[in-house]
Amino acid sequence: MGTRTKPRVPEPARERASRKLSPPRLGPRDVLHVGSAGLRSRPMRVFLSALGIAIGIATMIAVVGVSSSSQAKLLQELDKLGTNMLVATPGPSMFAGQDTKLPKEAPGMIARIDGVESVGTTGDVKESVRRSENIPKEETSGIVLKAAKDDLLETLRAKVRGGSWLNDATGRYPSVVLGHVSAERLGITRPGAQVFIGGRYFTVIGILDPIPLAPEIERSALIGWEAAQSLLGFDGHPTSVYERSADDRVRAVRSLMGKTAHPESPSSVSVTDPSAALQAKAATEGAFSTLLLGLGGIALLVGGVGVANTMIISVLERRHEIGLRRSLGATKGQIRVQFVTESLLLSGLGGLAGIALGGIATLVYARAGDLPWVVPLWAVTGGFGATLVIGTVAGLYPAVRAARLSPTLALQAA
């Protein structure tokens, strides 16, 4: 006797009706497709809306990039020139109207300090430097005449752009080396020209490259120590003593320089670190950039308002689409995700365009000013992150508004 299969009992209609239907889920690819549909259908509106975001991000990236590039240039110069140079100069006098002088033995005494590697010396000579004897003596063009010793160039780590530096031979005769600023002011571009100093002509034997750590040398005309004494009556007292020491000895050397240079009156010696000015400049390079960053942030917010306005108009124009999708089973959450995604894509496109424009602007500036091209990673990631945040905020209200549309009313309005 075979077994009988039990006949299948139809499911009651009431039970079928009570079964809860679950809407289909949208995968990442589906979300990207529906979110980009509105952008693909209105390319000109997308371009204009993303332009505000792009301008804001480009401004911020360019400001940070230009500031960072300039700062990198200064740091490169510091690495090349070193931060281990100190300068001893006469300090204020204890008596009003009386000038202080460094002893003639000061350079040699400073050279004997433990850790000092090289010493260079200059002394001010009270004579004007003129292009010719026909120019009035009062017209100095801001050029200072200095006597210099042979080792100054090595201590400053300076380079001669053209010609040669002073040596034992040329330092005894009427020859002069010009700082690059002095050469420009005198209209001299190459060695061989002559300048009028102290009633006679001196031959220009060299022109120096810029010296960021010693800007006073850039505006000077340098003659040999012996020539200054024999030809111009220089008294032989140094005005500035430059020294290079080991990096780990800079602080100790600085504490000893005043006492060593002038044992009888250490307080009359001023010791400075010329690299401190460049370090401060590098540290404050971005101070003015704060204002421009604020303007870029305002432009970014204006761009966000433009995105929000575009999304609201998009919701109003696409009510029929929203109603149709809702009637076919799309949930409110899926509608919200669609419009937030569209807003994010719109802002993201503007952010990417702004990063590219800001990077290009920084590159052009860096190439024009012979600077390293530096765009900090934090500025790129932070700027792009800001666009995504603004895109999310700008798309929330239109997305919520779209999700609240009744399918029936949306279809009727269409």
Angle, vertex CA 21, rays to CA 18 and CA 26, nearest 5: 170
Element (DSSP H or E) covering residue 253: helix 250-261
Residues 302 and 196 in one domain: no
Angle, vertex CA 34, rays to CA 32 and CA 35, nearest 5: 60
Helix 289-317 vs helix 332-368: angle between axes, to the nearest 10 degrees? 150
Residues 326 and 359 in one domain: yes
Residues 90 and 233 in one domain: yes
Helix 43-81 vs helix 275-283: angle between axes, to the nearest 10 degrees? 160
Determine, yes or no, domain membership for 6.
Answer: no
Residues 130 and 267 in one domain: yes
Residues 124 and 240 in one domain: yes
Determine, yes or no, domain membership for 49.
Answer: yes
Q: 222 pairs with which residues across the strands?
A: 146, 177
Residues 88 and 70 in one domain: no
End-to-end CA distance of the chain: 68
Residue-level pLDDT, tens digit, the chain, 414 residues:
455 555 554 555 555 545 555 656 766 776 777 777 777 777 887 888 788 888 888 888 888 888 888 877 776 776 666 678 889 999 876 554 456 889 999 999 999 999 899 999 999 999 999 998 888 888 888 899 999 998 999 999 889 998 999 998 899 999 999 999 999 999 999 999 999 999 999 999 999 999 888 889 999 999 999 999 999 999 999 999 999 988 888 889 989 998 998 888 888 889 888 877 666 666 665 555 666 667 667 777 777 787 788 788 777 777 777 777 777 777 888 888 888 888 888 888 888 998 999 999 999 988 988 888 888 888 888 888 888 888 888 888 887 877 787 766 656 655
The pLDDT score that the predictor gives to residue 129 is 94
Q: For residues 98 and 88, what is the distance between their CA atoms, to the nearest angstrom?
A: 19
Residues 307 and 195 in one domain: no
The pLDDT score that the predictor gives to residue 364 is 92
Determine, yes or no, domain membership for 3.
Answer: no
Residue 348: both structure tokens together: 């993201």
**Which residue, 303, 283, 281, 348, is CA-closest to 59?**
303
Residues 231 and 176 in one domain: yes
Determine, yes or no, domain membership for 17.
Answer: no
Structural domain ending residue among the three candidates 272, 297, 319: 272
Determine, yes or no, domain membership for 372.
Answer: yes
Residues 53 and 97 in one domain: no
Query: What is the Cβ-side half-sphere exposure of residue 147, based on CA atoms within 13 angstroms?
Result: 24
Q: Which domain holds residue 367?
A: 28-76+285-413
Residues 91 and 221 in one domain: yes
Residues 91 and 64 in one domain: no
Question: How many Cβ atoms from other residues are within 10 Å of residue 267's Cβ?
Answer: 12
Determine, yes or no, domain membership for 97.
Answer: yes
Determine, yes or no, domain membership for 307.
Answer: yes
The pLDDT score that the predictor gives to residue 232 is 93
**Which residue, 123, 110, 148, is CA-closest to 262?**
110
The pLDDT score that the predictor gives to residue 278 is 63
Q: For residues 4 and 140, what is the distance between their CA atoms, to the nearest angstrom?
A: 124
Q: 271 pairs with which residues across the strands?
A: 88
Structural domain ending residue among the three candidates 242, 272, 302: 272
The pLDDT score that the predictor gives to residue 303 is 74
Residues 233 and 333 in one domain: no
Structural domain ending residue among the three candidates 208, 243, 272: 272
Name the DSSP class of 135. S
Q: Is 400 helix (H, G, I), strand (E, B) or coil?
A: helix
Question: Number of structural domains, the chain?
Answer: 2
Determine, yes or no, domain membership for 14.
Answer: no
